């Protein structure tokens, strides 16, 4: 994959890379000694003088991952040269770990890239817990990922979730403002604690039935397990969440779906909104005889 432009001014290659091609300084430094910068088809250093009309290209191909490439079912909601959005099912891990090196979304996505002849790597922009389902966005190269990461840090990603919870919040809508910390140094779980990092979640009641509620949740910060921790802390834990609540219905996974993701495209700069085809519902109450 390449980035390219026709130079409109005389300048050193570095400002052309940083301004015309909007590359991050981190990416420029990483590619600097990889012969990835070309001017009129010839390898060039960042201090090379570019003239008007010169073709500037950047090779973005990256080394293949160390984890296995596997075939697996993927529900693709959107794809272009820079981004891909997947409708992740519950039970699927995002990425391999030392404990599990296969059977994850990343393994399947690398398999898809291999089958379709795309020289891309997996760069998650948004992430979901194993049993949370819905829209996840991934970049296809480090350049697009870097620009999306900046947007994420600046609060430019609009995330909307739907959840089924036990009980009901006070009022039709509100803001949960409660700091989140690691439960203990060796634990992966989180809790609300005064020495934690600031965390804010907006909620809106959509429906209520027989002791359960259907909520819309919008994380205003991006803490690990934020929605699950906040809901449990406020007294309305997410149904099916074995770590932060209890489940009297015996459901196989937590009822939390990333229903919508809004963002500005890193290259076209157009606002986009991608929606999941999955959903949560209070209908399970009838099937469980409640």
pLDDT in tens, 54-104: 999 888 777 778 889 999 999 999 999 999 999 999 999 999 988 889 999
Domain 2-59 shares a fold with domain 76-154: no
> Among the options 54, 87, 129, 241, which is catalytic?
129
Contact 165, 159 (CB under 8 A): no
What is the value of pTM for the model shown?
Answer: 0.84
Q: Report whether CATH 3.30.2350.10 matches the domain 76-154.
A: yes
* CATH class of segment(s) 2-59: alpha beta
- Tokens (6 digits) for 234: 């406020």
For the chain, the C-alpha Rg in angstroms (whole number) is 22
Burial (CB < 10 A; 0-12, 13-18, 19+), residue 225, is: buried
The pLDDT, as a whole number, for residue 93 is 96
Tell me the C-alpha to C-alpha distance, in Å, between residue 245 and each of 1, 5, 13, 144: 45, 53, 55, 37
What percent of the chain shows pLDDT beyond 90?
A: 71
Q: What is the mean pLDDT of residues 14-42?
A: 85
Question: What's the CATH fold of domain 159-259+281-287?
Answer: Pseudouridine synthase (3.30.2350)
In the residue annotation, 129 being an active-site residue is answered as yes
10 Å Cβ neighbour count for 122? 22
């Amino acid at each position: 994959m390449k980035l390219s432009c026709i130079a409109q001014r005389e300048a050193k290659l570095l400002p052309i890379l940083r301004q015309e091609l909007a590359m991050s300084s981190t990416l420029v430094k990483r590619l600097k000694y990889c012969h990835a910068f070309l001017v009129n088809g010839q390898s060039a250093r960042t201090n090379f003088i570019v003239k008007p009309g010169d073709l500037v290209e950047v090779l973005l191909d990256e080394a293949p991952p160390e984890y296995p490439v596997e075939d697996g079912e993927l529900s693709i909601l959107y794809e272009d040269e820079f981004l891909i959005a997947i409708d992740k099912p519950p039970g699927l891990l995002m990425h391999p770990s030392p404990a599990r090196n296969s059977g994850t979304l990343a393994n399947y996505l690398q398999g898809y890239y291999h089958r379709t002849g795309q020289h891309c790597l997996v760069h998650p922009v948004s992430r979901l817990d194993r049993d949370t389902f819905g829209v996840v966005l991934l970049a296809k190269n480090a350049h697009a990922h870097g620009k999306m990461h900046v947007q994420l840090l600046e609060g430019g990603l609009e995330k909307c979730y739907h959840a089924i919870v036990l009980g009901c919040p006070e009022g039709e809508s509100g803001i949960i403002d409660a700091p989140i910390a690691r439960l203990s140094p060796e634990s992966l779980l989180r809790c609300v604690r005064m020495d934690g990092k600031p965390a804010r979640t907006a909620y809106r009641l959509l429906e209520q039935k027989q002791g359960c509620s259907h909520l819309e949740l919008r994380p205003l910060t991006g803490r690990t397990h934020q929605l699950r921790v906040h809901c449990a802390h406020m007294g309305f834990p997410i149904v099916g969440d074995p770590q932060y609540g209890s489940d009297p219905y015996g459901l196989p996974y937590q009822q939390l779906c990333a229903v919508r993701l809004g963002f500005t495209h890193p290259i076209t700069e157009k606002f986009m909104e991608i929606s999941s085809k999955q959903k949560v519902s209070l209908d399970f109450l009838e099937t469980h005889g409640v």
